[in-house]
Structure 1
Amino acid sequence: MVLPDDPVRSVAAFDPLTATPHDTLRELCARMTEGGCGFLLVVKPGAPAAVVTERDIVRAIGEGAEIDDVWATDVMTREVLEISADAPISEAARLMMTAGVRHLVVRDDAADTDGAGEEAGDAEGEEAAGERVGVVSIRDILEPLLETVEAALARDS
């Protein structure tokens, strides 16, 4: 059961789909289609630089972009909204609603650094030692919260 005060890490994905700044719009679309998502974390060697969303791609094509001639760096959103993995789910939902976005980058400063897990910096979604980078979507938040509400309603009826 997921509650609004539970930490974002309980619903976030720490294996986000990624792109490079030099991927074309066609490559971005293919990766989103294969991954069944509308959001890619754009990384430079080991460090998230920005994000590309379906909205970024639609905007670019609407403005006349050629899908094989325009790169992620041309359309990516550089001002990325982030939230701590320890923040409550309700805070993430509020930030998404206020900003009008469907995804947030999640920073997990409490990542495993004792050698038992992956070494810091090995995964594309990792930056510095002890920090993992993930993503949380509005769907990641709503699905488990709705299940919790439905279970409570069923129990009370």
Structure 2
Amino acid sequence: MAIDDTVTVEDVMASPVETISADASVSDAAHAMREHDINSLLVPGSEMGIVTSTDVMDTVAAGHSPTDTTVSEVMTAPVESVTADLEMDEVAAMMTTYGISHLPVRDQHGDYVGMVSSTDIHELMADTTVGQ
């Protein structure tokens, strides 16, 4: 099942991108994700990172305190990113290649403007299937 190659990241990305400090607790990250109804946050700094709901669950599952564990301890850095004009089938290939579920989106100036996720791809595939 293919993704319509006319659909771009800009068509499906969540925007604006939400961020959190590397010094914040994993608990703070979980609260921010719940508040914004999202599954990932960018972590700005000298090296851009990302923290996801999976990182939060892994922290708890490993028996670590989410209030005593910082985002910097569990985030992934550096992060891959995409541009808003990239086609979603290429995003799916990148996620598969790198084994990731979220990609920050940059504009033509290099600024982070959104986030695209594997959930967006699943929804596109479901829409394609229903439309056939």
Q: Greater CA radius of gyration, 1 or 2?
A: 1
CA 35–48 in structure 1, closer or farther in 2 if over 3 Å, else same: farther
With structure 2 as the length reference, what TM-score do the two structures score? 0.82
How does 1:7-156 map onto structure 2 within 5 Å?
7-44=8-45, 49-109=48-108, 131-151=111-131, 153=132
- Identity among equivalent positions (%) equals 30
1:52 and 1:82 map into 2 onto residues whose CA distance is 14
TM-score (normalizing by structure 1)? 0.71
Cα shift readout 1:74-133 (whole Å, capped 9, x = no counterpart): 111113121122211100011112222211111121xxxxxxxxxxxxxxxxxxx57343
Unaligned runs of 5+ in 1: 110-128
1: CA distance between counterparts of 2:110 and 2:117?
23
Let me know the Cα RMSD of the aligned residues: 2.3
Q: Which moved more, 1:71-80 or 1:4-13?
A: 4-13
For the Cα contact (< 8 Å) 2:14–2:116, is it kept in 1? yes
User: For the Cα contact (< 8 Å) 1:18–1:43, is it kept in 2?
Assistant: yes
Change (3 A) 1:99 1:132: closer
Give the superposition deviation at 1:49: 2.0
CA deviations over 1:39-61 (Å, ceiling 9, x no partner): 111124xx872110122222233
Q: Specify every segment of 5 or more residues in structure 2 that has no aligned partner in the other structure, as ranges.
A: none
**Is the 8 Å Cα contact of residues 17 and 112 (structure 2) preserved in structure 1?**
no
How many residues align? The count is 130
